[in-house]
Amino acid sequence: MIKKKRDPRPIGVFDSGVGGLTVVKELMNELPHQSIIYFGDTARVPYGSKSKEAIKRFSLEITHFLLRNDVKAIIVACNSASAVALEELKIVSPVPVYGVIDAGINVALRETRNKKIGVIGTKATIRSESHKINIKSKEPSVEISTKACPLFVPLIEEGMFDNHITREVVKDYLTEFKTAKIDTMILGCTHYPLLNRVIREFLGPSVMLIDPAKELVKKIKLEFESYGKEKKLNDEPIEVKYEFFVSDVPDDFLKASGSFIHLEPTSVKKIFLDELEYKQVLQAEIKVSPQVN
Ligand code: DGL
C-alpha cells in the first residue's frame, strides 16, 4: 500500500435521518483518528417512499453541502440513495464516494452456504432492484428474495427498537423469508441494524444478518490505514472533530440517536434547506443528465 500523507480533512457521511449513525458508530470505532461530518436529512425523511428523481436531487444537494465543508471522502450511508444516486454523485464529486449496496452484497455472497439470500430495504431500494441485479451479475445461481419494509423506518425514528408493535411488524414482513429458507439476510437499509435483536429473534440463529456498514467501514479503513500507522510512528496529537447537521428538529435526532451514539446537544446544528443551495445543485444535475438513464 502506498503510504499517504495524513489528510486531516473530515469524512462526510449522510443519510435521510438517524439511520446513517450506524455507519458513524462503526467509523468511530474502527477509524478513531478520523474527523466526521454527518448530515441527517430529517426534514425530508423517509427517502424510501420518494421518487428516484427526488432522492437524486436531495443526495446531490447534500453532496455539495459536504464538499463545501471540505470533506476528503463521502459515504452515502443510505441504501435508498446508494441504490438510485450513487453513479451521479461519483460523477460530480472530486473526492471518492462510497455507497452501502456493494458492501452488503460482497459479504452476503461470501457467507451464504445454501445460496438463498434475502434482502430487506425501503420501497425505493427494493424497486431499484440494485441488489438483485448486482448479485445475479456476480453469482447467477443465487436465489434472491426481496421485500420492502416501509414501516421499519418510522418505528426506528420513533425509537421503537423492541416492543410488541415492532415484533408484530417484523413477523408480518419477514414470514415469507422463512418459507424461502434463506440462510443470509442483507439489512438493506442503514436504519435496520437497530432492529437486529427482534429480527434475529424472529428469523432464528441459522440466518446470518448482514450489516453492510461493517463491511464498508472495513474497506474504508484499508484506504485510510496509513494515517493510523503514521500516528503511531510520529505520535503527534491528532485533533478529531465530529460534527452533526440535520435539516430539522435536532431534539428528536438526539433522542433517537442517543441510545447508540453519544451526542452532545451542542454538537448538532440545524441547516435550513435553502442553505443547501438548490440552484448550484440543479446546475450540477443538468451537467450530468446526458450520462444518466
Ligand atoms: N436509511 C435509509 C436507507 O438506508 C433510508 C430510510 C428512509 O429514509 O426511508 O435506505
116 CA to centre of ligand 1 in angstroms: 24
- Cβ atoms of 148 and 123 within 8 Å: the answer is yes
Q: What pLDDT, on a 0 to 100 scale, did the predictor assign at position 125?
A: 96
229 CA to centre of ligand 1 in angstroms: 34
Contact residues of ligand 1, CB 6 A cut-off: 15-17, 19, 45-48, 78-80, 122, 125, 153, 189-191
Q: 193 is written with which cell numbers?
A: 441494524
Q: What pLDDT, on a 0 to 100 scale, did the predictor assign at position 293?
A: 29
Q: Ligand 1, residues 14, 16, 50: which to mutate, most atoms within 8 A of Cβ?
A: 16
For the chain, 293 residues long, the average pLDDT of each consecutive 10-residue run is 71 91 88 91 90 96 95 96 96 96 95 98 96 96 97 86 95 98 96 93 97 92 66 62 83 66 64 59 32 31
Q: What pLDDT, on a 0 to 100 scale, did the predictor assign at position 268?
A: 72
Report the candidate in 42, 48, 22, 66 with the shortest Cα–Cα distance to residue 251: 42
Report the candidate in 255, 195, 267, 248 with the shortest Cα–Cα distance to residue 28: 267
Total-model pTM = 0.85
Q: What pLDDT, on a 0 to 100 scale, did the predictor assign at position 242?
A: 87
* Calpha distance 103→101 (Å, rounded): 5
Q: What pLDDT, on a 0 to 100 scale, did the predictor assign at position 289?
A: 30
Of 78, 182, 207, 254, the catalytic one is 78
CB atoms within 10 A of CB 121: 30
- DSSP for 189-203, please give it: STTGGGGHHHHHHHH
Q: What pLDDT, on a 0 to 100 scale, did the predictor assign at position 267?
A: 65
Q: What pLDDT, on a 0 to 100 scale, did the predictor assign at position 133?
A: 96
